[in-house]
Every structure is written in C-alpha cells, then in structure tokens.
Amino acid sequence: MRLITFPRQRGWSNQFVMSALRMLPGNAEPRIATALGATLAAFCRKPGQLPESLPLKEALACPDCGAALPFEEQALKCPACSYRAPNEGGVFNLLSTALKAELYPGARPDTLDFSKPGHEEGLLEGFFDLEGDFGNKYRWIGGQAKARLKRVRTGPQMLRVQGYAPYVAKVELRANGAALGSWKLDRPGLFILEAPVAEAPEYIVDILASPTFAEPGDGARTLSVNLSLLRLQPPEA
C-alpha cells in the first residue's frame, strides 16, 4: 500500500507551520498532515494474480446478497437484488448499500459536509466563505456560528463536529438552546467533538469559540476555528 497526503497550504500561518516541521529530522509529511489536516490518498492491491479459471466476469460478488455480479463496462448490476454500482471515472464502488449510505450520504439534512454541495442550506449565520481543496473543504467562523440539522434516523442521537484550531482554543456547543458541553483544545490541530442531544425533530446548533484573532491582510475577518463537518449520528457501540 502507498499513502500520499495533501496538506492544507493556504495562508501564511499554514506555510509557516509546514516550513518549521520540515526542519525536524525524519519524515515531515505525517507531522504536517497531523498539524494542519490533509486529504489522504491510498493505493493498494491484493497480492497475486487472478486465476485463469476464474475470469473477471465471475470473480465479483454482490456486497448486499452475495450473488455473482456480472461485469459490465458502464455499471455492475446484481441479477438477484437491486444493488447497482456505476462506473465513476473508471472506478466501481463495491461497498454495501448500508456502508455507502453511511460513508457517502450525499445531501442529507442530518449531515453538513462542507466538501459536498448542498451543505449551505443548513448554515444560518457566522460562517465565512468556503475554502480548501476537493475532499478537504472547510469554513472559518468567528466567535459564534449557527447551523440547522434535521433528524433522519430514529433512536438516540449524537452531535459530531469536526474542525481545525490553529491555536489553543475553547469550543462550546449548544443545541436548541441547551448546553451540550465545553471543550478546551490544548493544542493546535484537528479536533472532533461529540455530545448526545435530546429528542427533537430538528436542532439549531450554536458553536461558540474563543479566542478570536485576525490575520494581517485578511480584511476585516475575525477568526477562531474552522469547521468541516456537522452531523447527527447514533452513539457508537
């Protein structure tokens, strides 16, 4: 397996951190990805060769029902169930339907993934323009931001917030006016915050962060942390 990272490089502060970490001994790329956040690309394949007695048209199995999955250039369609995997840029995604729904939910009211179009509908106030590269998009906030999430799943729900803090920071979360928790981020870098929410059909989520700062040459923006994902999800087992 080969791994490649594409760290965030925009802004003078990110460039400074990258330069400083490259001065340390050893491979700097993992340190840079940990400090700044990065898109991760991986290339892997199973060892060995496909036996001649097992041609490609008989080598695939439906991830939902296990039936043989005939190979076609445009899409893989299971003859035994409704499973379908289209050819997307020469790649067939053979995750099960359930895993696809979790890992690639698309536009859903319980998930605001800033790397995907449509998340703007859930942003209410306090978010700046979208920044970052494909697969690694984010928005800065100032001292406070507000978003809307709507319940899709039944049962207990957790609020998950993913972001990046350039400095030591404090982040507080509220849902429908109720405090969910306050976290002190004791080091710069990526963070994930999770907290249970009360039963409700939808949630107005407030994110409060401090301290705020202004970068030279960045206009009148006052920044604190940036966010890349807000999501409702079942509690982990």
For the stretch 182-220, pLDDT in tens is: 999 989 999 999 999 999 999 999 999 999 999 887 778
90: left (phi over 0), alpha (psi -120 to 50) or beta: left
Residues 179 and 136 in one domain: yes
Mean pLDDT of the chain: 85
Residue 87 shares a structural domain with residue 137: no
State the CATH number of the domain containing residue 185: 2.60.120.200
Q: Which residues are 173's β-sheet partners?
A: 181, 207
Q: Where residue 2 falls among pLDDT bands split at 50, 70, 90? A: low
Q: What is the pTM of this model?
A: 0.62
Same domain, 61 and 38: no
How confident is the model at residue 90, as a pLDDT? Answer: 80
Q: Model confidence at 57, in pLDDT bands (50, 70, 90)?
A: low
103 vs 94, which has greater pLDDT?
Answer: 94
Q: Is the separation of the CB atoms in 115 and 228 below 8 Å? A: yes
Instruction: Evaluate if residue 54 carries a pLDDT over 70.
Output: no
Q: What is the pLDDT of residue 87?
A: 87
Rounded mean pLDDT, 92-97:
87
Structural domain contains residue 49: no
Instruction: Return the DSSP state at 181.
Output: E
Q: Residue 124's domain spans which residues?
A: 111-233
Beta bridge partners, 183, equal: 171
Residues 115 and 214 in one domain: yes
- Is residue 60 one of the residues assigned to a domain? yes
Is 48 a domain residue?
Answer: no
